[in-house]
Amino acid sequence: MTGAHADRPATKAGWRAHMKGVLASTSAEQRDAWSAALCDQLLDSGLVGEAMVVLGYGAFRGEPDVSRVGDVVTRRGGRLCMPVIDWGSGTMHAGEVHTLHLGAKGGPVEGRYGTPIAPEGAEVIPAWDIGVVLVPGMAFDVRGGRLGRGAGFYDRYLRGFAGLTIGVCFDVQVIDRVPMEEGDVRLDAVATESGVCMVRG
């Protein structure tokens, strides 16, 4: 599952810059194929299938597209939500959506910087009702370490979260060890197009 990286940055900023280049060097067709395989891995794992409420996300700047997982959740009668960002307070909460497809009815809209978010007026779902969170990021390791984009929204949201947290990425985003600091939250599992690695539980 670990991606090959000839350059090994020592800092978070270095890894973010490196991963932006890695994702930019892959074609949209390649990312679509990897995303399809990743969704298969998530659905075959059984980790998402029984959760009544799943917090997903809209793919942004080369992130894996997990909208098909969201489609399965809603088809079986589960509830689907995605982040709503409060930039003023630096917090995030979960707003209910009917799909993770950007621009679709009942789906995400573009927020600040083009980030897909739940539409205005979406019902807020409290964290204690959510069973699974699919967490995007820039880099991950098999110990559950995650490197986000630097704003810290997911780390603050997941602190004390009792449900299952699954990091979602491509194999090329998995590194030996993510630089972790106090306040960074480790995840329970990491999913890529080649498999799902359980870290805890």
Instruction: For the chain, give the number of residues.
Output: 201
pLDDT given at position 7: 59
CB atoms < 10 A from the CB of 185, how many? 20
pLDDT given at position 167: 97
Nearest to 118 by CA among 133, 131, 102, 129: 102
Q: Is residue 60 classed exposed, middle or buried when 0-12, 13-18 and 19+ CB atoms within 10 A define those classes? A: middle
Contact 71, 78 (CB under 8 A): no
Q: Share the mean pLDDT of the chain.
A: 91
Quick one: CA dihedral 81, 140, 194, 189, positive or negative?
negative
What's the whole-model pTM score?
0.92
Which residues does residue 116 pair with via DSSP β-bridges, in sequence order? 110
pLDDT given at position 177: 92
pLDDT given at position 144: 95
Which residues does residue 192 pair with via DSSP β-bridges, in sequence order? 195
pLDDT given at position 200: 77
pLDDT given at position 1: 62
Between helix 28-45 and helix 67-75 the angle, nearest 10°, is: 40
List of the chain residues with pLDDT < 50: none
pLDDT given at position 135: 97
